[in-house]
Amino acid sequence: MTRSEILKKIRDNLAIAVDDPALQISEATTSDDVEEWDSVNHMKLIIALESELGIRFEPDEITSLADVKGLVDLIEQKL
Amino acid sequence: MNPPIVELPWLPTPPEDFVQRCQALASGSASPGLEAASLAAFRLSAQQSLLLGRAIRRCRTAGADLSPLSGFRLGVLASTTFDLVTDCIPAAAARHGVSVEIVSAPYDQVMQQALDPTSDINRGRLDAVLVAVDHRWLNLDHADLASGGLERVQSALAKLQAVVQNLRSHGNAAAILQTVPAPPQTLFGSYDRRVPGSVRAMVDDINRGIISLANETGSYVLDAAALAERIGTDLWFDPVHWVSYKLPFSAECFPVYADMLGRLLGAIRGKARKCLVLDLDNTVWGGVIGDDGLEGIVVGQGGPRGEAFLSVQQCALELRQRGVILAVSSKNDDAVARRPFREHPDMLLREDHFAVFQANWIDKPANLQAIAKALNIGVDALVVLDDNPAERAQIRAALPMVAVPELPNDPSRYAWYLTAAGYFEAVAYSTEDAARADSYKADARRTEVMATTRDLGDYLKSLEMKIRFAPFDAKSRQRITQLINKTNQFNLTTRRYTEADVAAMEVDDAVFTLQVRLEDKFGDLGMIGVVICRAAGDTWEIDTWLMSCRVLGRRVEETVLAHLIPAAREHGITRLLGTYLPTAKNALVSDHYAKLGFTPIEDTPAARRFELAVEAYKATELPFEVESV
């Protein structure tokens, strides 16, 4: 899976979590840039990515992932 | 191994345009309730459930009429991070005929919300509150070997009891208690069960206690322990997500847990299915009776295929014994299709077991409509077991409210699919339920008598009807609640009450209650009517008047009125006030009060009101033997 494909997966699932179908993000986006990207919606995003991609994040990794680039990096390693 | 239940394998895969259909539903649909139910009938992931749930919520917010779904206000009190589970509930509820509105308490505020009369939960006018707590909240997550665990279990039960009682007294809401799944770790291994105070022993104890508590308090039970057990507790529990997020159990289990809750809400609202319609060839026996003949079909002991079909028949028969009606819909010549039931020595199912037998060459949707009509039930009460994927697709397309489980190739798994889907969920069980399958068959015979008698009066007299009136009482409480919650057609006001509400009416002096039972020469029809009158000065407002549609045209309503009049006089009542609140299903009774001689006093689209002066009532002769308690 390429970085841009991973980015699309993140976008699609984040769009559902924050209930904004038109959401646009790039690797530079962080949770500060998306108003509804709070801790509960972050959890929803992580769980959705785990089940869709068949991967698991470690507890330590999860808390520090509120930026898109970090998330893409981590998923790339896990796939 | 059986297929993983977490994948809801009895449901068909969602269509390509699922997301678009959800969006279309959210932005306004001609029949949003029906479309929501159709979309919910697919095998939805947690994400898809969330999308559909949001679409349903938008419909409701926009004021759309979501019938045929029944409304339900559900509170959720959870000791864990429950948001992701809650996200799955509205779609799952729609799958089972319910449009659910959820009020969630914040994380781990179970006791606080239950005890505080002004909490969101207690002020939420909720029909029921799910008390989603687990072994951790109950303080049963570590062993208590020193003192043997007895006190620990008792104090856990006392906590639950306090929650249940406070929800009732402050919010007038029934509790949905869940049983506690036992965590998989052991301390001694197999010996755990024999050590008082081990987690396993305490969880066993509390689950027995929860059932008793539910029985004593009229609470509902969601058997989470049974679900976790069949999934496997190693899959159910997820220690990583527990420490990271305090998720109650594995995310993979959220949709099936929500489905199980949806079934329960459906059953509370009387939406559980009533009738199992069986295809014949390659569904109840192997082979095609029309081609292979009586000797060629495969059923019976002695071979895997024959035993597999026997297991389907056994399953149908057991369902029938608890009150599920059986019917046949098969593409066959009638005489050919009946032969195995009459002549094959290994068949468990016999013609006698079926209330309706439709073997012909008409398309299945038309046959299913005929079956529903003959039984006087909706098509949304039918489940169809059919091995043929093309037939299944045709039925789903034509009649989306009929439940049609997917089936695997191997018939030895059919019974698993049929039962795993939870179509026949119950919240009560009575001897009347058990007798229902027979009683529907008696209906068919009554219709035959009708055909041979020309005069309605003669017909009614020939039925030798005995009607019995009694006030609400404890032993009939479950059945009364069941009727109140599932009667849609002959129901003047469609007001729903919980078992606890009904119990309160039994002792309320300002409320006059009536349960009506009917018997005729063909059998006991059981309880067929419920009336609730509330006194206001010298007037009785008829809060509720409902009857089973099976007794339509028998002058039961006139007899009920003839009973109400002297009762009113005894209570010093001079006027009866009747209200008709129209719904999508009760047009049948729009003229109920007018026909009974009431005078209209108000007529708006939202309600019609009628009155009758007790003195103005004129008695007539009615074809009943009356018994009154």
Q: Are B563 and B514 in contact (CB under 8 A)?
A: yes
The pLDDT value recorded for residue B184 is: 96
Three-state DSSP class for residue B30? coil
pLDDT > 90? residue B549? no
A60 → chain B, closest CA residue: B244
DSSP B20: H
Name the nearest CA neighbour of B422 among B279, B299, B262, B559: B262
Find the range with the poorest average confidence among A9-23, B103-117, B475-489, B590-604. Answer: B475-489
Q: Which one is predicted more confidently, B498 or B130?
A: B130
Token pair, residue B47, equals 């994400």
Secondary structure of B127-154 in HEC code, one letter for each residue: CEEEEECCCCCCCCCCCCCCCCCHHHHH
Contacts of A43 in chain B (CB under 8 A): 81, 83-84, 245
Looking up tokens 């045709």 gives B394
**Which of B51, B84, B241 comes nearest A44 by C-beta?**
B84
- The percent of chain A in helix, strand and coil, each rounded to the nearest 5, is 60, 5, 35
B439, B445, B446, B447: CA torsion to nearest 10? 120
Torsional class of B576: left (φ above 0), alpha (ψ -120 to 50), beta (otherwise): beta
* CATH fold of the domain at A3-78: 1.10.1200
User: Residues B190-231: pLDDT tens digits?
Assistant: 999 999 999 999 999 999 999 999 999 999 999 999 999 999
The pLDDT value recorded for residue A6 is: 95
The pLDDT value recorded for residue B620 is: 86
Q: Which one is predicted more confidently, B95 or A67?
A: B95
Token pair, residue B250, equals 């594995």
Domain residue spans of chain A: 3-78
What is the DSSP pairing of strand B382-385 with strand B275-278? parallel
CA angle B201, B204, B208 (to 5 degrees): 140
Average per-residue pLDDT in chain B? 93
Percentage of chain B surpassing pLDDT 70? 98
Find the range with the poorest average confidence among B163-167, B221-225, B328-332, B587-591. Answer: B587-591
Token pair, residue A20, equals 């904004």
B107 → chain A, closest CA residue: A40
Residues found in chain B: 629
User: Residues B66-89: pLDDT tens digits?
Assistant: 999 999 999 999 999 999 999 999
CB-based contacts of B118, cutoff 8 Å, min separation 6: none
Contacts of A42 in chain B (CB under 8 A): none
What is the DSSP pairing of strand B523-536 with strand B539-547? antiparallel
Task: Tell whether B239 is within 8 A of chain A (Cβ).
Answer: no
Token pair, residue B261, equals 């809750």
The pLDDT value recorded for residue B98 is: 97
The pLDDT value recorded for residue B171 is: 93
The pLDDT value recorded for residue A65 is: 63
Torsional class of B302: left (φ above 0), alpha (ψ -120 to 50), beta (otherwise): left
User: Residues A54-65: pLDDT tens digits?
Assistant: 999 888 887 666
Percentage of chain B surpassing pLDDT 90? 82
Average per-residue pLDDT in chain A? 90
pLDDT > 80? residue B455? no
Rounded to the nearest 10 degrees, the angle between the axes of helix B46-61 and helix B32-40 is 170
The pLDDT of B89-110, averaged and rounded, is 96
pTM confidence score: 0.79
B404 pLDDT band, cuts 50/70/90, is: very high
The pLDDT value recorded for residue B460 is: 83
Three-state DSSP class for residue B535? strand
- Complex ipTM: 0.92
Looking up tokens 């397309």 gives B397
B445 pLDDT band, cuts 50/70/90, is: low
B539: β partners:
B536, B575
Residues found in chain A: 79
The pLDDT value recorded for residue B548 is: 86
Are B46 and A59 a contacting pair at CB < 8 A?
A: no
pLDDT > 60? residue B186? yes
Three-state DSSP class for residue B195? coil
The pLDDT of B373-388, averaged and rounded, is 94
What is the DSSP pairing of strand B98-104 with strand B624-628? unpaired
Are A51 and B81 a contacting pair at CB < 8 A?
A: no
User: Residues B333-367: pLDDT tens digits?
Assistant: 999 999 999 999 999 999 999 999 999 988 899 99
